[in-house]
Amino acid sequence: MLSKSDFKPQKWQTLTIEETVTTLKGNISAGLTHAEAMNRQHLFGPNRLTEEKHESFWQEFLEELREPLILMLIGTGILYALWGELSDAITIFVVILTLNTIEVVNEQRAKKAISSLHKMAEPTSAVLRDGHTQETPAEQVVIGDVVQLEAGRRIPADARLIEAYGLAADESSLTGESVPVDKNADATLNSDVPLAEQSNMVFAGTLVTRGRGTAIVVGIGMFTELGRVAGLTRQVKQPRTPLQKAMDELSRWMVWLAIGFSVIVPILGYFVAKQPLKTMVLTGLSLAFATIPEEMPIIITMVMGLGAYRLSQKKAIVRKLKAVETLGVVTVIATDKTGTLTENRMEVSTWFPEDHQERIAEIGVLCNDASLNGGEYAGDPVDTALLRAASQAGIDPAALQSKSQLQNEFTFDNTRKRMSMIRKDGKEFLVAVKGAPEAILSLCTQRWASKGEEAFTSQSQEAILKQAEQMAAQGLRVLAFAEKKTTSAPMSQEQAEAELTFVGLAGLADPPRLEVRAAIQACQEAGIRTLMVTGDHPITAKSIAQQVGLNSGGEVLTGPELDQLSDEQLRETVTKVSIYARTTPEHKLRIVQALQENGERVAVTGDGTNDAPALVAGDIGVAMGESGSDVAREAGDIVLADDNFTTITNAIHEGRVLFENLKKGVRYYLTCKVALVSITLLPVLLKIPVPFAPVQIILMELFMDLAAAATFTVEPSEGDVMKLPPRNPKERFMNRAMVISIFTSAAGLFLAVSFVYLLTWYGGADPVTAQTVAFAAWLLGHVLLAFNMRSVRQPLYQVGFFSNRLMIVWGVVATLFILLAVYLKPLQTVLKTATLSGPQWVLILAAISVGTFWMEIYKMFAFRRKV
């Protein structure tokens, strides 16, 4: 085993492959064992630049105690103690501990949820362990690991190349060199070679732009070139969303309003109602604590963080918190086809010409990046399908590939729409090429035949293209195959892919996912339009669109046709055309920008490196987690763990529910604040004592926060959430309807509590009994109010009274608390309460039922009118 003392920084570019492997005690053929990898991770730590700093529970607890409002509450408790109200002071300090504990637990839950999302969204690396290649989180890569490199992969660590086939890397993030650097595993360099010229090395954080290869890790984390550049200060901070900023502004505005009432009430109470100064000072302080909405930004962050975690349970991993907020406003989904609308399970179903099947299959094996791993073929779905088809035709792919040595590879890209490999068999070189028919046929001058090569005429090309279109019309993905034999090795891509011999076509089927049709229909009902943007043949795209129920209108626009449109013409076109074929990433970006210029809010899916511009440009970038490149995953706001279109629909549904629940929670929270101020102000204006003792106000805040911060988070969706049009992103969070709802809902609670208090007071009851009636009415009333405010459009019986179990638990706890406060003698002394009679309870229940359930009656009539 490698010990820490064995590791010494080296000029790795000066060592041969064998020297590097020996120094690191690695194994090229089998990789490290799991036990050795765990040992090295224990020795050198995780592969990241900085250790995440986690504050302990007690550190956060002490931080919360320094919050201004908590300090104010501590001051209130001290005043109680100084004025001889020791039991009240103890009660307040108990409340402080309870509130502080709840706040810290909630914040830690939210941080834990968001942190877990970041870990789930981390790029992975293909690492050789125990003789098998496996996807391993980049953070778990260790020194001595053998990693597989391919186009689109972010390199996880500094590594010495072992093999390189047409490999090039974009190292601009490290060296500033804008041109990709060609790599050569066999080179051995001098110690003074600049970083940008170290062709036998690859570096953490850089990107493989083409080719493939393997490398052995020589440095991780802070021992990489990137680590030395970044130092110890790299920290990622989640940016605040527009909603959070809006809530901050609203909170600041409400703070001054709450402070104003908290000052006015004691002044009026002392000078107008002639109440004791001590009581009014304590009431003012308690009222300020209870009415200032200091928790609102915390509630929003927690709701979005926990909501994002819920999304991850549905295989939609949120990388950027703004996506949670934006999901509810999506109006268009621009999706790719393969793996998202379809199963990404390609199978060869047709060969043309049929008597060329064996030779086509051989070219498919020789021009192939897939590999056999654990008895299964792993790699690109098309490549694995070709290997399976060859096996079924009686060809041994591994034996055929071993007969020739791979010399170079020119990987597939969206511009060329083809890939080629150069292999050496004895003294002869073979170029094997596959790709889109139109991209291959234009390069062919000969045609393969069993009796030998023959000229490939324009008439033959037209016939082949027609055949390809007929195959594509059947929903097949059509590939053309060509080859060239030469005695000298081609030096460039142009030389390799010139004067080819056409061999044949293969049609591959990628069946649509069974659940996609229903998902697209659900999007349509939700006012969300779906567009398909694919690089496939237009007829194939149209066939799949018809199978999944995508409204194409019979029109398909291709990339070349799109190039002929001006920006203004494209803006008009995207309102009518829903299928785009033979597109490049540049086309996809133009389509997204045209939609946005039309006022649409676009969710963009992508899996390739070149999809990054469109993913970033979209209002929400949705990257593919299974088939996507690391660059796509890093560019996306959301990563789909299963590459399934249905998951996008589920994410939009969850996003809408989350935003609705957030709005319901804030609406309820502010309703309680308005009601509390109103209930306290009215008796002062009537020149009678306020309805709550200061200690009661503080306890009411405890229950009010619990409901707003927690119970609304888990509220199930109303049945019509996916039948409503997308939310207007320009609409204010506190719109007219919400403000009206807050004040009308608060009016019901205000009238109910004020009615029972004034009736009891003017009925001759003592102040403690009258305050107890008001206290009980408030606690029970604001619980019933929470249940009534769970839904906006549907009555409670439709949503299900018991469907929110957390709210049931909270309601039961609040009810038990008020019963104990009224009937338990020790609590009566502490909470300033008195025993209530049966008629008083009947009065309370009747008043709060009328004051809250009027909302349910209104919703029932409104619901019936809709039905």
Name residues whose C-beta falls within 8 Å of residue 846's C-beta, 6 or more positions apart in sequence.
none
Q: What crossing angle do the helices spanning 645-685 and 516-525 adopt, rounded to 10°?
A: 40
Give CA–CA dist 489/187, Å, rounded. Answer: 20
Tokens of 276: 């004791």
Give CA–CA dist 411/229, Å, rounded. Answer: 31
Give CA–CA dist 172/206, Å, rounded. Answer: 8
Three-state secondary structure call for residue 544: helix
Reported as type and span, the H/E element at residue 362 is helix 357-366
Three-state secondary structure call for residue 578: coil
Tokens of 86: 């020791």
Listing DSSP states for 15-67 in one string gives S-HHHHHHHHT--TTT-B-HHHHHHHHHHH--SSSSPPP---HHHHHHHHHTS
- Asked whether 611 and 588 are in contact (CB, 8 A), the reply is yes
Which amino acid type is present at position 357?
Q
Cα 672-675-681 angle, rounded to 5 deg: 140
| 425 in active site | no
Which amino acid type is present at position 79?
L
- Asked whether 652 and 523 are in contact (CB, 8 A), the reply is yes
- Determine the distance from the C-alpha atom of residue 726 to the mean position of all C-alpha atoms in its chain, rounded to a whole number: 19
Name residues whose C-beta falls within 8 Å of residue 323's C-beta, 6 or more positions apart in sequence.
308, 620, 637, 638, 655
- Asked whether 503 and 483 are in contact (CB, 8 A), the reply is yes
Reported as type and span, the H/E element at residue 290 is helix 277-291
Sign of CA dihedral 585, 587, 589, 592: negative
- Asked whether 502 and 480 are in contact (CB, 8 A), the reply is yes
Give CA–CA dist 769/839, Å, rounded. Answer: 13
Counting other chains too, the contacts that 248-252 makes at CB distance below 8 Å and 24 or more residues apart are: 248/297, 250/293, 250/296, 250/733, 250/734, 251/293, 251/294, 251/296, 251/297
Listing DSSP states for 78-135 in one string gives HHHHHTT-HHHHHHHHHHHHHHHHHHHHHHHHHHHHHHHHHHHTS-EEEEEETTEEEE
Burial of 32 (0-12, 13-18, 19+ CB in 10 A): buried
Tokens of 731: 């609409």
| DSSP count for the chain of H helices, then E strands | 32, 25
Diameter over CA atoms, the chain: 115
Task: Say how many residues make up the chain.
Answer: 867
User: First vs last Cα of the chain: how many Å apart?
Assistant: 72
Which amino acid type is present at position 820?
L
DSSP summary character for residue 863: H
Give CA–CA dist 762/362, Å, rounded. Answer: 98
Burial of 828 (0-12, 13-18, 19+ CB in 10 A): middle
Cα 162-165-167 angle, rounded to 5 deg: 90
Give the residue carrying structure tokens 């440009």.
617
Q: Which of the residues 145, 336, 369, 611 is marked catalytic?
A: 336
Active site residues: 336
